[in-house]
A and B are shown apart, each in its own frame.
Chain A
Amino acid sequence: MGGWIIKLWQYALRRVLLFIPTLLGLTIIVFVLIHIGGTNKLLAMYLSPRLTGAARQQIIAELNQKFHFNDPIYIQYFYWLAQIFQGNWGITNTPIFSGPVTQAIEIFFPNTLILTIFAAILIWLISIPLGVHTAVNRDKPSDNVIRVGSLTFYAMPWYLIGIILIIIFAVWLKILPIAGTVNPSMVSDLSWYHNGISYPTHILLIDALIHGNFMVAGNAFLHLIMPSVTLALGVMAALVRLMRGTMLETLDQDFVNFARAKGVPEKVVINLHAKNNALLPVITNFGYLVAGLLGGVVVIEDVFSYPGIGMWLTDAMINNDMGGIMGGTLLFGIILVVTSLALDLIYAKIDPRIRY
């Protein structure tokens, strides 16, 4: 046991140390992308296009002092990195937001976060029971229907799932809102909501609950349903398949047969003995799956005009806005690198089967 603990610490230490070059590598990729254009594109990232004449020259001079444009490129990298660490990520100019990149992240990221959390909860609630059901009813019609159904969603472009939901629930049934985070008329005279931004957490649903405005909270919740269901349906298949596979393996093991032989009712065998044992590898993959949702967020937020990082990024793309594109790329990279570090450490702790 003692030896195992030392090994775990060694693993954790190695993992944390590896995290640093990975993070630096990420910044190098973004830095290289910024500089590939030949002319110094960095200026475009830090210079507001509205500036003209003397004011513009003065800002350029100031930027030169910060970024040392005349030094060799590898020296410039360190000056740029220092600015990034100080939170100076440049300026973004898109129809939905103009201003510092960090401020855009502060406004848009909470929306993306709540969407991802909602989707994660949905994926868990749908996939685990379906996985167990298909394993227990192996090769029966319901198994085949669920497997083909979830695979079909998996094979659908995310935006198409979203649009089919829009056609059904917003156009035909008219029970769910199509776009945005809230019905604008409901928030027009609220003291804690200005210019499409709610305070203090920037997550409308939570802010409305904090201020005790349940009508707005309910409406914000309705706006979250379709985007998060879309996100969940798109990746559900992976988890259903995994749960089915591990459940089938577990149901085949000696201890399960022993429980059955002992006379434990089949329901208890499945839900208590087998399911809990089958969950561990599923939990391990669930975290990475949810982290992977961030890619889908880009498309889905665009379809539902949901003001999160993804919509900002697509807006930046269409408007060739360097600050938004590079800021978004760096942010997504940092989130995934940090999340995967955290997940690796947590799983190493909870899952003794992980070998290092």
Chain B
Amino acid sequence: MSKNSNVKPDRFRELKLSLQVFFSNKSAVAGLIIFLFYLFDALILQFFPQILPFKHPYQLTPNYANPIPEPPSLKHPFGTTYPGIDLLNAIIKSIRLDFWLSLEIVIPGAIIGLVIGIIATYFGGWIDEVLMRITDIVFSIPYLVLAIAIGYVLGRTLQSMMIALILVWWPLYARYARSVTLETKELTFIEAARAAGTSNLKIMFKHILPNSLPPVFVQISLDLGTIMLTISALAFIGFLPAANLPELGYLTSLGYGYIQTAPWAMIIPGLFIVLFALAVNLMGDGFRDVIDPRRRSEL
């Protein structure tokens, strides 16, 4: 990863090789295709909701006249869940919310972590010690538990869930950035830059940061799945009270009361959570193969 900063290789050939590695991994390609479906759904609903025949694209539409879950039929291909919500519609709406929410959590989390990790390692000494201690502390509380505590303080809404998860998500990235920066810091081109009088800020963010990006990119891809699972777990245990939000975890919790008579009401939205988490995991493993040939053989 660090080679390309020293000597400029043929970018086009490098890209071609990377694509070859990625596309030779069938499960990674399958993951990518599933991911693109979710992305497509999220983009359409976010920017062109008028294409779809939804009266309320951003909220659930309950039908209290017929609240009991119905099995899949022609009218409701995935069946309905309590209270009379068509599952197909609800899932299409939920994917939009979950997709953007995951991105809105993982990107700020990664940026905060990268900045902290790079600053800590570059300056070293007590700054490093203090920042890494803070990272350890946040890391030491299970993120679900810390999110509950922050949710209590901020009030349990979708907004506070997002803030809470950003606040618990950065430590991993800080550690990543730290380990990469430790390696990069000692390389000759950084020393050369320093000797040439380049400012610290420029060295950190122009020379060191790009080198830590590929592994971070893989981690972001994997984390999209973990965050989706975390959001749905929080929604399931009741973090969002009476939300009426199109959110996959919340949809599964609606079906919870009917697992004996209407298992689909819980299984089908659950399946869409699993599919996404599985897809981004496979895709992330494919990316990892591209940047780290040693791991090419591992799933």
Contact = CB atoms under 8 A, between A and B. Distances in A.
Interface of A: 18, 21-22, 25-26, 29-30, 33, 36-37, 138, 147-148, 151-152, 154-160, 163-164, 166-167, 171, 241, 244-245, 248, 292, 294-295, 298-299, 302, 313-314, 317-318, 320, 322, 325-326, 328-329, 332-333, 336-337, 340
A298 B278 contact: no
A314 B144 CA distance: 10
A22 B145 contact: no
B277 A167 contact: no
Interface string B258-299: 011001001100100110011001100000000000000111
Contacts of A302: 237
A317 B281 contact: no
A114 B3 CA distance: 50
A148 B299 CA distance: 9
B143 interface: yes
Contacts of A325: 148-149, 152
Contacts of B233: 157-159, 299
Contacts of A171: 259-260
B279 to A, nearest CB: 8
Given A157-B236, A160-B252, A241-B299, A313 B259 contact: no
Contact of B270 (A21, A22, A157): A157
Which 9 A-B residue pairs are closest in the complex by CB-CB distance?
A: A295-B142, A155-B277, A155-B278, A25-B137, A160-B270, A329-B149, A333-B141, A336-B140, A147-B299
A292 B142 contact: yes
Contact of B278 (A152, A158, A313, A332): A152
Contacts of B249: 157
Contact of A33 (B27, B149, B237): B149
B102 to A, nearest CB: 14
B237 A156 contact: no
Given A151-B281, A317-B148, A317-B237, A336 B259 contact: no
A314 B237 contact: yes
Given A155-B277, A326-B149, A29 B237 contact: no
B237 A299 contact: yes
Nearest to A134: B299
A295 B136 contact: no
A272 B266 CA distance: 46
Contacts of A138: 297
A8 to B, nearest CB: 21
Contacts of A326: 149
Nearest to B143: A295
B232 A329 contact: no
B281 A154 contact: yes
Contact of A157 (B133, B146, B273): B273
A299 B236 contact: yes
28 contacts: A21-B133, A22-B140, A25-B133, A25-B134, A30-B149, A33-B152, A33-B153, A37-B153, A148-B299, A151-B282, A155-B274, A156-B270, A156-B274, A157-B236, A157-B249, A158-B233, A163-B256, A164-B267, A167-B263, A171-B259, A298-B145, A314-B238, A317-B156, A325-B152, A328-B145, A329-B149, A332-B141, A333-B137
Which DSSP category, helix, strand, loop or mixed, fits chain B's interface? helix
B254 to A, nearest CB: 13
A148 B146 CA distance: 31
Contacts of B149: 30, 33, 325-326, 329
B85 interface: no
A314 B234 CA distance: 10
B108 to A, nearest CB: 19
Interface residues on B, range: 35 or more
B88 interface: no
B278 A26 contact: no
A317 B238 contact: yes
B229 interface: yes
A157 to B, nearest CB: 5
Contacts of B137: 22, 25-26, 29, 333
B273 A295 contact: no
A37 B256 CA distance: 33
Contacts of A167: 259-260, 263
B68 interface: no
B150 interface: yes
B138 interface: yes
A239 B153 CA distance: 36
B229 A295 contact: no
Contact of A329 (B146, B238, B299): B146
A329 B142 CA distance: 8
B281 A294 contact: no
B117 interface: no
A244 B259 contact: no
B42 to A, nearest CB: 19
B142 A332 contact: yes
Contacts of A164: 267
B225 interface: yes
A160 B233 CA distance: 9
B264 to A, nearest CB: 11
Contacts of B82: none
A156 B259 contact: no
Given A155-B277, A163-B256, A294 B298 contact: no
A295 B165 CA distance: 14
Contacts of B79: none
A102 to B, nearest CB: 18
Contacts of A152: 274, 278
B273 A329 contact: no
B151 interface: yes
A329 B134 contact: no
A76 to B, nearest CB: 17
B239 interface: yes
A332 B153 contact: no
A295 B144 contact: yes
Interface in B132-180: 133-134, 136-138, 140-146, 148-153, 156
